[in-house]
Chains A and B, each alone.
Chain A
Amino acid sequence: MTAEEKTLDIWVAGTEEPEFSPTDEGEQEFSDSESEDRLADQYGRVIDDDYVFDDEVADDERMVVNMGPQHPSTHGVLRLQLEMEGEVIRRTKPIIGYLHTGMEKTAEQLTFSQGPTNVTRMDYLAPLHGELAYSLAVERLLDVEVPPRAAAIRILMTELNRVSSHLVALATNGMDIGALSMMIYGFRERESILAFFEKTTGLRMNHNFIRPGGVAADLPPGWKDDVSAILKDMPERMEQYDDLLRNNPIWLARTEGVGVITAEEATAYSITGPALRATGVDWDIRKAFPYSGIDQYEFDVPVGENGDVYDRYRVRVEEMHESLKIVEQVMDSMPKGDYRVGDRKITPPPRARIDESMEALIHHFKLFTEGFKVPAGETYVAVESPRGELGCYLVSDGNATPYRMHTRAPSFYNLQALPIAMGDSLVADTIATIASMDPVMGDVDR
């Protein structure tokens, strides 16, 4: 047998013509306009990008694996095309868009007061941050200042949200590396925070709580006890996690020196959040552009050194401690007063007033049919979401709906750096790296 014939005998993934349609619904006709290359790319047999590849290995030693969009640990519907030589990944191409629902376009149809229902569904692990960024942008266009109590409630809720989001990050990071118990523990602790959110906002996620002009409702009676219970339990529990993970040689071996991103690469790819701070860059929107009076509270910005999976994990854990510190300060110094602005052109009147006052009824009617009009102009406001800089770019043409709304989604930018973070890594490292970037696909695709 000649060498040529030999190679034909070996079945190598992706070399043969597809004999059947990729779906199991019978033969499918593909439009002629799609070229062969494009089809191969769609099938996932080749990776089509502008990456220059040093071609020393024969083609049949490489295998293109499509990890996702249905894969247990791609955190939703992320699809990665991996070019592998055995276990080693030579090339990675993240493909997104499987969760794209056109939320930015939807925002143009919704009034400014309906807007938070939309943005809260983008980053579903940190819904309050999305609402906050949107509300701050609207308020800046309106040029209104929320009462100090509203600002304090916003900080309280968003910092608790940061803790709950980081808990999910720890949980999924643990599970993706194989520490199954960590997953359950993370979600168990998150539950106590979600219970408080449910009590305050009525919902466990997609709260629609922070709205232009303040917040939807005042804190419920007895909120101090709930928050103190969270503040008391959480540090103890986090110490236990350190026992489980930080003092575990396997965990260290799996995370240290894996998925390294340097500070230069991180800034070049405009990575933000814990992934950036893990590289040693001290950059936090809360310090750089303080919002909602967060500058009056004392907290540190933890930074890492190496920018590897372990540092990202450490930065998250430290951030949770810092957030709890902020929550404690907010709790102790919660100002008295109204929880939303008194301007009835922006916020609806109290329910009781509608029965008494014609003015209040008219305001209520106008707000919920037409919405309030916002002066023409454009603005960009960013907040520090658990994943990084979450910005809201808002253009108003003077109507009750935005002319354009764009969200700077931190997950989207962080995800771009996956190929450089992976380098020539193993399959297992890929999973650890994805988990440590903590992408939320709802945030990426919007």
Chain B
Amino acid sequence: MGWVEWGVVVLRVLLVFVLLLGATIINVWAERKIVADMQSRIGPKRAGPWGILQTVADGLKLFFKESVTPRKVELGAYLLAPFLAVIPAFLIFMVIPFGAPFMIGDTEIALQGADLNAGLLFILAMSSMAVYAVVLAGWSSGSKYPLIGGVRATAQAISYEAAMGLAMVAVVMFTATQGPGGTLSLSEIVARQDGTWLGFIPQWNVFPQIVAFVIFMIAIVAETNRAPFDLVEAEQEIVGGFHTEYSGMRFAMFFLAEYINIFSMSALAATLFLGGWNGPTWEGTVPAFVSAILPTVWFLLKTYFIVFIFFWIRATLPRLRYDQLMSIGWKRLIPAALAWIVLSAISIGVRQFGLPWS
């Protein structure tokens, strides 16, 4: 590999990094503004225009604050946990394509951190890694509320990871019928959602896989520990949950990880179900650079639509109880996902091979 290719790889990784940090700044601000509006408040308005720099100010404040280390912590795990939270959060987004690949000379540059052929498996693995951070943080804090939060996180993650994975299986099965052979590569999944049915319905997976979409949406809300599934950090019950004993920059890293997770999970939902960066580019009628940028715009629009749903849910729904969370996960979501897999498998089989008696 020449130095040009290396440079391109480094650039892509940097681009993803900057995009995520920028998105987090916007997301935290947007959440505060949107939820404030829903609750007839004003929200941040002092730092910068419309208070958009509020997140930067908060980040700076946390950066300069002392990171208190309580005496009873298990120091190694306690220090490791924030990094374990942030790193997988960044890595998840690495495999998500956020724009159409474009050509510079002979080199094709994909707008994607890395195009893994097992991209979906990588995402599942990384989102499982994130749970270790919460569990370790809860356990190593040497305090009771974090411990409860950590234990809750374990159970919650296992339950909803399963539902999320099963919803993905249905999508992968369906995608396999849309092109030559099955694929786990996200860029390929996006490419196969191009085109329309009947001329006007975009060929997104959400239409044939609506049940999987609903299950996936519920599962990612639980996976990112957001309301109404935020039992892990339920402030009213267990004070702060796993991050009770964290302060300063270490707390900021958990915070960052949570918002990056929201963004990357929304991006994943947009990629799997809403056609990723697919959308009209009006090539020829608009300037070339506009049609080059448009796919990224579509992608961000779809992602932010899902991010908005996250905020909306948070402003509306009360929190579930621990046992209700478990029963929804195991008694509703997982059986529903399994049933949906069987159903879509049958329909795919019928479409591929005809009815069994014919």
Contacts and interface: CB of A to CB of B under 8 A. Distances in A.
Interface of A: 11, 13, 19-20, 63, 65, 71-73, 86-87, 174-181, 184-185, 188, 244-245, 248, 250-251, 253-254, 426-431
A244 to B, nearest CB: 7
B144 A177 contact: no
Interface in B125-146: 142, 144-145
A181 B39 contact: yes
A428 B239 contact: no
Contacts of A244: 316
Contacts of B38: 181
B5 interface: no
B245 to A, nearest CB: 14
A175 B318 CA distance: 8
Given A65-B144, A178-B227, A188-B40, A428 B318 contact: no
Given A180-B314, A251-B318, A175 B236 contact: yes
Interface of B: 35, 38-41, 71, 142, 144-145, 147-148, 151-152, 227-228, 230-231, 234-239, 314-324
A176 B236 CA distance: 5
A428 to B, nearest CB: 5
Contacts, number: 90
B228 A250 contact: yes
A248 B151 contact: no
Contacts of A177: 236, 318-319
Contact of A254 (B315, B316, B320): B320
Contact of A178 (B144, B228, B238): B228
Given A20-B71, A63-B144, A181-B39, A253 B314 contact: no
Nearest to B314: A180
Contacts of B230: 178
B39 A178 contact: no
Best-surrounded residue of B71, B144, B227, B315 (most CB of chain A within 10 A): B144
Contacts of A178: 227-228, 230, 234, 236, 317-319
Given A11-B142, A72-B236, A427-B238, A179 B318 contact: yes
A80 to B, nearest CB: 12
A245 B41 CA distance: 20
B173 to A, nearest CB: 31
B239 A71 contact: yes
A73 B142 contact: no
B320 A72 contact: no
A356 B234 CA distance: 65
A385 B319 CA distance: 30
B146 to A, nearest CB: 11
A9 to B, nearest CB: 13
Contact of B321 (A175, A180, A185, A429): A429
6 contacts: A178-B318, A179-B316, A245-B318, A254-B320, A426-B322, A431-B237
